[in-house]
Chain A
């Protein structure tokens, strides 16, 4: 399954080719049939200023979800966020309150 390539996707995923943590997030995005735009960055941490500007860290994966206004790093956090926001029994408020709580984690 591959996502349609549109710049209008609400979710942007910053990722690194063949990064297992990134693929873990992709699997979850695909499981929930979410439309997302992939932005690939370099293996070298020092060459990832765009990720730093967006998320505050140079690590990938990082996602920006314009629907909820959430920006997040760390695959475990992202997977949990996606489950809570888009999974079965997802909160109807889009999970924003949850995401805010996560930022302090």
Chain B
């Protein structure tokens, strides 16, 4: 991407594969409203890909959600596309809920969902407590008093056991989308 070493983030003791992902309740925003939802309510319905990303206006948020949207990850978008193509859903292990989390407030989330035209719901965690629980806090230099999660992706089964984990080691850093697709397909 660039011809110099990208800034490294310090080592962190974060949630890893095999761990049980901490449960939390936060406002979960869809394209019409938001309400408090627990992560465990989502995993009870099936596997969940939990995507931590930068605040909504930052360019990595745009890049990541464009990519995920264009790859059509997740049950809702997947079902819609398979319905359109006349094929049946969930025979390929991709019947999974994709959900995001950033420190942006619900109003910003609604705007992002509209701007990106995405069929994914987003948790709002302005005080960054979830990132603390997951060991992925990123204190932002030059923005006093502001921290957010490091970009990170966790694939969780129905018991919130982490089947795949990726946590940013550089700033910025982006998930390996192919690797995540393999992890989802390999379930």
Q: Do A and B bind each other?
A: yes
Please name all residues of chain B whose beta carbon is closer than 8 Å to the beta carbon of A7 when the two chains form the complex: 35, 37, 41
Known: A5-B25, A7-B41, A42-B110. A37 touches B35 (CB 8 A): yes
Q: Is the CB of B36 within 8 A of A37?
A: yes
Chain A binding surface, main DSSP class: mixed
A48 to B33, CA, bound (A): 8
- Chain A CB within 8 A of B34 CB: yes
Contact A5 B33 (CB under 8 A): no
Contact A38 B35 (CB under 8 A): yes
Chain A neighbourhood of B36, CB < 8 A: 5, 37-38
Identify the closest chain B residue to A43 (Cβ): B107
B11-49 Cβ-contact flags toward A at 8 Å (1 or 0): 000000000000001010000111111100100000000
| A39 & B35 in contact (Cβ 8 Å cutoff) | yes
Whole-angstrom distance between the Cβ of A62 and the nearest chain B Cβ: 11
Select from chain B the residue with minimum beta-carbon distance to A3.
Answer: B36
Asked whether A49 is an interface residue with its Cβ less than 8 Å from the other chain, the reply is yes
Given contacts A40-B27, A40-B106, contact A14 B38 (CB under 8 A): no
CA distance A50 to B110 in the complex (A): 14
Q: Which residues of B contact A48 (CB under 8 A)?
A: 32
CB < 8 Å A-B pair total: 29
Residues of B within 8 Å of A, CB-based: how many?
A: 13
* Number of chain A residues close to chain B: CB under 8 A: 13
| B37-A5 in contact (CB<8A) | yes
A10 close to B (CB within 8 Å): no
Known: A5-B38, A7-B41. A40 touches B33 (CB 8 A): yes
Chain A to chain B contacts (Cβ below 8 Å), 11 pairs: A5-B36, A5-B37, A7-B35, A37-B35, A37-B36, A38-B35, A38-B36, A39-B35, A40-B27, A40-B35, A40-B106
Question: In the complex, given contacts A5-B37, A14-B33, A40-B34, what are 20 additional A-B residue pairs having Cβ atoms less than 8 angstroms apart?
Answer: A5-B25, A5-B36, A7-B37, A7-B41, A37-B35, A37-B36, A38-B35, A38-B36, A39-B33, A39-B34, A39-B35, A40-B27, A40-B35, A40-B106, A41-B32, A41-B33, A47-B32, A48-B32, A49-B32, A50-B32
